[in-house]
Amino acid sequence: IGSAKQGAESLGVNANIAALLVGLVSTMNGISRPINGAIFDRFGLIPVMLIQAAITALTMLALAISFSGSLPQLYFVAAIMIAFPYGSAPVMASAFARQRYGAEGFAKNLGVVNLTIAAGSMISIAIGLIVGSAGDGINDDTIYLVLAFLAVVAFASVFLFRRVYTEDLKKIDEELQ
């Protein structure tokens, strides 16, 4: 959300329109939360994770293309769409903590689950350090291609997680019976 305006302006978008983009990105973030919650309630955690990883990969690729081809319209759409999976994080964390650990100790368990945000922050810091040390050698499109690759890795890792998660939920169900 914080870099949407600067990205748009670097592609030649008027400052007022770029500021509007920030509001639209934030709005999509908010809209995505009940949608992701409904998907979780209907289909469970794994489909939400797969959908969000796929949207992230496609959106990061679109952002890379928007910079390599100087396509501000594509950037506008992709910047708004990346807020959809971003908005799923608090929903998935809350729903996972409640489903996995139950109501007892929910606040503590939610806090632990939300530590996953720290991993994302560390990746962000690492990318910032790499880009900063490279000076002008790394372009925005390269950064977004790397992020698209990481999103594909995240998508693939959901299949590994699904196996462990499914077995874990079976054990919990057996313990409750």
Comparison of pLDDT for 123 and 35, the residue scoring more = 35
Q: Within the chain, where are the H helices?
A: 4-10, 15-43, 45-68, 72-101, 106-113, 116-134, 140-176
Comparison of pLDDT for 55 and 171, the residue scoring more = 55
pLDDT at 147 over 90: no
Q: Per-residue pLDDT tens for 72-95?
A: 999 999 999 999 998 888 888 888
Reference 25, options 59, 61, 66; nearest CA is: 59
The pLDDT, as a whole number, for residue 135 is 56
pTM: 0.80
The pLDDT, as a whole number, for residue 31 is 95
The pLDDT, as a whole number, for residue 138 is 61
Assign 2 a pLDDT band (cuts: 50, 70, 90). Answer: confident
The pLDDT, as a whole number, for residue 144 is 84
The pLDDT, as a whole number, for residue 18 is 93
pLDDT at 13 over 90: yes
Q: Per-residue pLDDT tens for 122-138?
A: 877 777 677 666 555 56
Quote the tokens at residue 6.
Answer: 């600067």
Mean pLDDT score, 38-67: 92
